[in-house]
Copies of this chain bind each other. A is one copy, B any other.
Amino acid sequence: MASKRAERAVGEGVVASYLHHNSRVGALVELNCETDFVARNDDFKQLAYDIAMHVVAASPVCLQEEDMPADCELTVAEACLLSQPFVKDPSKSIGDLITEVIARTGENVKVGRFTRIEVGV
């Protein structure tokens, strides 16, 4: 059933941003779900915000293993957002957080895109 859910279209969602207090680095994250109802939920928005904060702190190279550049010298857990240990609770990966929100909401949930900009980097 979980795998069926993973095929369902995720056309709704939210965009969250996080800016480090030094104003030198920020991130933008799109977190997708199936319905506007879930997108408007505060827990869902908080997760998007937490992932944006994580992206600022952990500088992921790509979303998942199949997106890794061929010349990447990092491990999957170092490079891929979904495999990285969550900075606020390293016992879970970002992928684990997504799995949890899928279980809680009953919807398919995916990180659509993320971007990170740091001055001069």
Nearest residue (CB) in B for A113 is: B117
CB-CB contacts below 8 Å: A31-65 with B: 32, 39, 45, 48
Q: Is A25 an interface residue (CB 8 A)?
A: yes
Measured between beta carbons, the chain B residues less than 8 angstroms from A19 are 15-17
Q: Is A107 an interface residue (CB 8 A)?
A: no
Question: Nearest Cβ in chain B — how far from A48, in angstroms?
Answer: 8
Q: How many residues of A are counted as interface, with CB atoms below 8 angstroms from the partner's CB atoms?
A: 28
Contact of A28 among B14, B26, B32 (CB under 8 A): B26
Q: A28-B117, A113-B117 are in contact. List 13 more A-B contacts (CB 8 A).
A: A12-B119, A13-B119, A15-B19, A17-B18, A17-B26, A23-B48, A26-B28, A27-B28, A28-B28, A32-B120, A39-B119, A115-B115, A115-B117
